Amino acid sequence: MSNLGAINLNRLFVFVAVVEKGSLTAAAQKLGIAKTMVSTHMQRLEAELGVSLLIRTTRKITVTEAGQAFYAASCRALHDIDDAVAQASDGTTLPQGTLRVTAPVDYGADVITPLLISLQQRYPALRIELLCADRRVDLIAEGIDVAVRLGRMADSTHRAVRLGGYTKWLVASPRFLERHGVPQTLADLGAFPFISLSVLAQPLLFHFGGPRKQKQSVRFNEAFSTNTAHACRAAALAGGGLAMLTDFSISADVAAGRLVRVFPKWASPGSDIHAIFPTTRYVPSKVRVFIDEIKARKE
């Protein structure tokens, strides 16, 4: 085991800030210290470890292979320290510190954002960062407290709590249906222009469930493709074609008549929504209140 007494653990915070911000100047601004102090911390950390973590040039900073491994380990260590501090104070204080949440772009914008604003207003000492991304975020490496994920759960060492579910509806704008007509059967759908979400594994193939537990699969004819669900919704509202969109993102559009459900008795099979967070013996209060808030909204 290395001699931890020879390493100033405060330098881990500085090192993580440098890597995440990409420069000494930006890290100094985030931490509220002088750039020269950041540089000194990095030089001394490398001396304490006996390895180069960063390659500095006049234009940029590059993280070495050893630095990348040490960054991931530092994130895990700082996350554990944060948990330990929260555990020590839990029960004596209200949720505080920084709650970092990640969620898919559409669900993050439509559902999670207003929920987090409400949570922050209730707990003023709680600072919130929301990362909306359709990619799978590494919770430990990126210092995420909780991730909201839609659909099938992949194998994971993280804890998971089911928050609710969703389905997808086939919709189109009234203008599109006036121009192209209304499909009479599911078999007719292949002849209609379709707006596809390109990031799906099979963006043109969908499985439907209908009355009396009927099932049918449909392959659509792509007319417009985009990589975000929000852009799919915008294209549907503009009359670009049929679209399969999540109920939570378009229920208000359907209620207002901006979009019309095509074959309203048919929809995609339901899928789950989960909250994922690192497995620890202790769940921080900031994570618990977030999960409780989502569950309360679903009830």
Beta-carbon neighbour count of residue 284 at 10 Å? Answer: 23
Using alpha carbons only, what angle is made at residue 200 by residues 194 and 243, rounded to the nearest 5 degrees? Answer: 25
Return d(Cα 53, Cα 42) in angstroms, integer. Answer: 8
Q: Which fold does the domain 168-269 belong to in CATH?
A: D-Maltodextrin-Binding Protein; domain 2 (3.40.190)
User: What is the structure's pLDDT at 155?
Assistant: 54
Residue 100: which of 126, 121, 135, 74 has the closest Cα? Answer: 126
CATH of domain 4-74: 1.10.10.10
Amino acid at the residue 209: G
Give the per-residue pLDDT at 85: 65
pLDDT of residue 3: 57
Task: Determine if the pTM surpasses 0.75.
Answer: no
Q: Measure the CA–CA gap between 84 and 93, rounded to whole angstroms.
A: 14
pLDDT computed for residue 262 by the predictor:
95
> Do the domains 168-269 and 4-74 match in fold?
no
- 248: which 2 tokens? 């939570």
Q: Taken in order 88, 91, 93, 99, is the CA torsion positive or negative?
A: positive
Please count the CA atoms within 13 angstroms of the CA of 233 that sit on its side-chain side: 20
Domain definitions of the chain by residue range: 4-74, 90-163+272-298, 168-269
| Angstrom distance (rounded) from CA 123 to CA 167 | 32
Instruction: Collect the ranges in the chain with pLDDT lower than 50.
Output: 1
> Is 90-163+272-298 a domain of CATH 3.40.50.410?
no
* 274 closest CA partner among 102, 51, 105: 102
pLDDT at 4: 58
Q: In this predicted model, what pLDDT tens digit does every residue of 126-178 receive, in sequence order?
A: 899 998 887 777 777 778 889 998 877 665 677 888 888 899 999 999 999 99
* Burial (CB count <10 Å: 0-12, 13-18, 19+), residue 221: middle
